[in-house]
Amino acid sequence: MDLTTTFIGLGLVVLSALPFIYFYYAGQAKTKAFIADFMALARQQSATISQYEVWGYYTALGIDARTNQLFYYRKREGREKKSLINLSEVEKCRVVISKKALNEDQVIDRIELALSLRNGRQADETLLFYSREDSMSLSDELMLVEKWKVLISAQLDSRRKLAAAS
């Protein structure tokens, strides 16, 4: 093989890899900007996020264990939802999976984390993890919603034990 063919082949490999590299770094920049917005939301409430999760470039959930607050932020196609939930007002946490019939199959339509409030007068606070309208395929949302259910339930249990001990 001559040197010209080698350089042409190498150039084609580099050119074909450029779009993938570009989209990878563009996605990283988008995620960093989203995390910065999310952390700014917490700082506005004088809170420090001790643990958080970002998925789909447009949804974040975080907890401040010190102040016992949960932060949810979703920004998608011009729509924005910000929720600050005081976990002291939450009775229990559960996963809600809504399914729809599609042909003869059951398809997951929505995955939400529902927080039942103590006063009972308000409806459950629901945090959307997945919607078929936004994304046709599930990735890690089922694992994430279960992880956060366990995390929030543990936080609720530890606060109850502290309250019972005092």
The residue-averaged pLDDT of 10-29 equals 76
Checking if the pLDDT of 61 tops 90, the result is yes
Checking if the pLDDT of 60 tops 70, the result is yes
**How high is the pLDDT of residue 128?**
93
pTM: 0.80
pLDDT in tens, 127-139: 999 988 888 778 8
Number of domains in the chain: 1
**47 HSE (CA, 13 A, CB side):** 24
pLDDT in tens, 65-96: 888 899 999 988 888 898 999 998 999 999 99
Cβ-in-10-Å burial (0-12, 13-18, 19+) of 54 comes to: middle
The whole domain housing 107 covers 3-165
What tokens were used for 111?
A: 């995955």
Read out DSSP for 24-52?
HHHHHHHHHHHHHHHHHHHHHTT---SEE
Quote the CA–CA distance of 81 and 2 in Å, as a whole number.
59
Please report where in the chains the tokens 């945090």 appear, as a residue: 127
pLDDT band at 1 (very low <50, low <70, confident <90, very high): low
Quote the CA–CA distance of 56 and 111 in Å, as a whole number.
14
pLDDT band at 148 (very low <50, low <70, confident <90, very high): very high
